[in-house]
């Protein structure tokens, strides 16, 4: 890894601090803008849970979620989205000595206010507003990576690292969810920035403890951030003073308990829910069940190397290559720092690979490290070129960001045009122009719609007979939610086998999710896959007792 001055050679010039911060607003604004464009993406299975926690806490007057499968920062963010209604609530008729009774009447005084607040949480606009809150907090991830990269690298390296996160399709759609994973990734990025700046004396172990507490208050796996705290204390604190470590751990514990007070106030329920979630990931989750160990690790690595960096495989592999270069150059420059930065993503990867349930969203906290090392890799590549050729590296980096950003924009546009575009028409166009000489099985419901468009016939090379040979299969996911062996119809697509990378040939309709990893997604779309994958999708992993 080179110093900041050498890193500036990527662009052939330097930037002032003010200009660097102004340029940082571009990836930040893009992330927020493209995310907001696709904010009305449909339904997500966890959102009803999060909103019901707000409703129940208002109804019970507890301001405790009462559900601890996740720690509670997601609850507080959802509650914060209710701020306009809380501020404008009319409390003038309440007796301050008896707020449950109205001054003017014997009817409960708080009940009408509670009912209005609960009703407000059921409004679709509140759902979109809450998604917006999660999106904005998730954008702190860009700030953390920008600060971390800027601490040891040049401004262009920092801007490239932040731009990778801003244009990542995986981060874009996950950040819109009312779910803790991108929030956790944001705190991990801030932790990363603090960790890198620690030797300068501008940050200390207490800062790390506070951010680790916030991360664990978002999702319990944030506790893995304690590992670099212990390592840093062991290596860098003079004489390893126990007080320094105790303060950091105290800051961690206090921050966690402030954000998740139910751990103290509802301890039985807290431990029951945590134990349930641990057991859940150790056993099964419908089509997301995998074999823990090498199989799970292989799928995780495949997503990290071929999906996280870019929706285009070639670009994703190029970014992964830059990441590896960044790791090697960091190791050559400062082995302790490199090991300190690698311990979190490696521990994260190994922990989740040991489970039997695979949701790729659990790997999002690795993204800040991925972007940091990719930025360092691009700088190393630029500095290894003759000075006249260094703009080539800058051009490559810019092309990656532009292509990724264009895909994120088109994906958000597909969500906005959901009510005006017709996936069946898009499928027909694809069959006529892209199918080639391959035969296609069309599910019966889609075939009927094609009959209507074609005047009673299917395009050449297509048929709707399931048992006939075909190269490809086109269907809506809910239409093939069948058990491949018993042919018993399932109630929804939720039982399809998910995490099937490489199966998708084409998709028509909104692109609000990476369908290969979330085949259970309920929003309407038509997908085209290789025919050989059809039985694979229908054959979900056996549920373990």
pLDDT one-digit tens code per residue, 256-304: 999 999 999 999 999 999 999 998 888 878 788 899 899 999 999 999 9
Q: How confident is the model at residue 435 (pLDDT cuts 50, 70, 90)?
A: confident
Tell me the CA distances in angstroms from 469 to 462, 473, 502, one per residue in order.
Answer: 11, 10, 21
Q: How confident is the model at residue 53 (pLDDT cuts 50, 70, 90)?
A: very high
What mean pLDDT comes out for the span 164-178?
Answer: 96
Quote the pLDDT of residue 3.
Answer: 47
Tell me how far apart the alpha carbons of residues 438 and 534 are, in angstroms, rounded to a whole number.
Answer: 16
Strands 472-475 vs 440-442: parallel, antiparallel or unpaired: parallel
Dihedral, CA atoms, 316, 320, 326, 329, nearest 10 degrees?
-130
What mean pLDDT comes out for the span 519-539?
Answer: 83
**Angle, CA 476 vertex, CA 472 and CA 479 arms, to 5°:** 100
Instruction: State the sign of the Cα–Cα–Cα–Cα dihedral 240, 241, 247, 249.
Output: positive
Dihedral, CA atoms, 439, 443, 447, 450, nearest 10 degrees?
-80
Query: Does pLDDT of 187 surpass 70?
Result: yes
Strands 472-475 vs 462-463: parallel, antiparallel or unpaired: unpaired
Strands 526-530 vs 504-508: parallel, antiparallel or unpaired: antiparallel
Quote the pLDDT of residue 439.
Answer: 92
Quote the pLDDT of residue 458.
Answer: 87
Q: What is the mean pLDDT of the chain?
A: 87
Strands 462-463 vs 440-442: parallel, antiparallel or unpaired: parallel
Instruction: List, for residues 129-147, the tens digit of each pLDDT value.
Output: 999 999 999 999 999 999 9
Instruction: List, for residues 56-76, the tens digit of each pLDDT value.
Output: 999 888 889 999 999 999 999
Quote the pLDDT of residue 378.
Answer: 96
Instruction: List, for residues 352-405, the tens digit of each pLDDT value.
Output: 999 999 999 999 999 999 999 999 999 999 999 898 888 899 999 999 999 999
Query: Does pLDDT of 486 surpass 80?
Result: no
The span from the first CA to the last CA of the chain, in angstroms, equals: 49
Quote the pLDDT of residue 72.
Answer: 95
Q: How confident is the model at residue 460 (pLDDT cuts 50, 70, 90)?
A: confident
What mean pLDDT comes out for the span 22-46?
Answer: 93
Region of poorest pLDDT, from 212-221, 233-242, 473-482? 233-242
Quote the pLDDT of residue 477.
Answer: 85
Tell me the CA distances in angstroms from 150 to 120, 344, 394, 445, one per residue in order.
Answer: 43, 20, 17, 54
Contacts of 62 by beta carbon, 8 Å cutoff, 6+ apart: none
What mean pLDDT comes out for the span 154-168?
Answer: 95
Quote the pLDDT of residue 35.
Answer: 94
Tell me how far apart the alpha carbons of residues 265 and 496 are, in angstroms, rounded to a whole number.
Answer: 39
Query: Does pLDDT of 1 surpass 50?
Result: no
Task: Tell me the residue ranges of DSSP E strands in 360-430.
Answer: none
Quote the pLDDT of residue 216.
Answer: 97
Quote the pLDDT of residue 100.
Answer: 55
Helix axes 313-333, 390-416, angle to 10 degrees: 130
Tell me which H or E stretch contains 505.
strand 504-508
Q: How confident is the model at residue 539 (pLDDT cuts 50, 70, 90)?
A: low
Query: Does pLDDT of 483 surpass 50?
Result: no
What mean pLDDT comes out for the span 391-420?
Answer: 91
Counting residues of the chain whose pLDDT is more than 90, the rounded percentage is 63
Q: How confident is the model at residue 97 (pLDDT cuts 50, 70, 90)?
A: low
Dihedral, CA atoms, 528, 530, 533, 535, nearest 10 degrees?
80
Tell me how far apart the alpha carbons of residues 71 and 137 are, in angstroms, rounded to a whole number.
Answer: 16
Tell me which H or E stretch contains 101.
strand 98-102
Q: How confident is the model at residue 490 (pLDDT cuts 50, 70, 90)?
A: very low
Residues found in the chain:
545
Q: How confident is the model at residue 487 (pLDDT cuts 50, 70, 90)?
A: very low
Helix boundaries (H) for 139-200: 140-152, 155-167, 169-175, 181-197
Tell me how far apart the alpha carbons of residues 516 and 503 are, in angstroms, rounded to a whole number.
Answer: 7
């Amino acid at each position: 890894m080179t110093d900041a001055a050498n890193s500036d050679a990527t662009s052939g010039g330097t930037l002032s601090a003010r200009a660097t911060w102004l340029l940082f607003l571009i990836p930040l604004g893009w992330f927020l803008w493209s995310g907001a464009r696709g904010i009305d993406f449909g339904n997500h299975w966890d959102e009803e849970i999060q909103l019901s926690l707000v409703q129940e806490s208002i109804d019970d007057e507890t301001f405790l979620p009462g559900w601890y499968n996740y720690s509670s920062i997601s609850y507080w963010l959802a509650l914060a989205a209710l701020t306009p209604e809380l501020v404008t609530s009319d409390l003038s008729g309440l007796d301050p000595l008896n707020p449950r009774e109205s001054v003017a009447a014997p009817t409960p005084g708080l009940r009408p206010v509670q009912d209005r607040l609960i009703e407000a949480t059921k409004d679709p606009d509140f759902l979109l507003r809450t998604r917006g809150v999660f999106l904005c907090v998730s954008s702190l991830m860009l700030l953390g990576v920008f600060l971390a990269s800027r601490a040891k690298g040049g401004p262009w390296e920092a801007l490239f690292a932040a731009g990778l996160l801003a244009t990542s399709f995986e981060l874009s759609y996950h950040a819109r969810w009312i779910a803790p994973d991108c929030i956790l990734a944001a705190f991990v990025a801030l932790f990363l920035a603090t960790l890198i700046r620690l030797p300068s004396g501008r940050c200390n172990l207490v800062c790390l403890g506070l951010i680790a507490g916030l991360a664990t208050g978002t999702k319990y796996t944030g506790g893995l951030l304690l590992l670099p705290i212990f390592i840093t204390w062991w290596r860098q604190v003079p004489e390893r003073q126990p007080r320094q470590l105790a303060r950091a751990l105290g800051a961690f514990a206090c921050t966690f308990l402030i954000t998740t007070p139910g751990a103290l106030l509802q301890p039985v329920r807290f431990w029951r829910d945590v134990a349930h979630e641990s057991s859940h990931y150790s056993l099964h989750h419908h089509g997301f069940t995998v074999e823990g160990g090498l199989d799970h690790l292989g799928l995780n690595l495949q997503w990290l190397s071929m999906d996280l960096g870019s929706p285009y495989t070639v670009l994703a592999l190029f970014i992964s290559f830059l990441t590896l270069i960044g790791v090697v150059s960091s190791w050559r420059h400062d082995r302790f720092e490199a090991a300190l930065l690698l311990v979190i993503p490696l521990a994260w990867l190994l922990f989740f690979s040991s489970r039997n349930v695979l949701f790729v969203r659990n790997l999002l906290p690795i993204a800040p490290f991925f972007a940091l090392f990719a930025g360092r890799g691009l700088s190393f590549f630029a500095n290894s070129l003759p000075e006249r050729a260094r703009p080539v590296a800058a051009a490559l980096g810019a092309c990656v960001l532009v292509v990724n950003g264009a895909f994120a924009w088109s994906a958000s546009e597909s969500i906005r045009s959901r009510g005006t575009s017709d996936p069946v028409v898009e499928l027909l166009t694809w069959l006529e122009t892209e199918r080639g000489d391959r035969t296609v099985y069309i599910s019966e419901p889609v075939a009927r719609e094609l009959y209507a468009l074609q005047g009673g016939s299917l395009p050449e090379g297509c048929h709707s007979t399931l048992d006939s040979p075909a190269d490809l299969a086109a269907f809506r996911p809910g239409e093939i939610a069948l058990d491949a062996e018993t042919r018993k119809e399932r109630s929804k697509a939720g039982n399809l086998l998910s995490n099937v990378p490489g199966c998708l040939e084409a998709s028509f309709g909104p692109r609000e999710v990476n369908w290969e990893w979330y085949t259970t997604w309920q929003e309407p779309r038509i997908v085209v896959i290789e025919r050989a994958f059809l039985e694979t999708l229908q054959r979900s992993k056996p549920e373990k007792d």
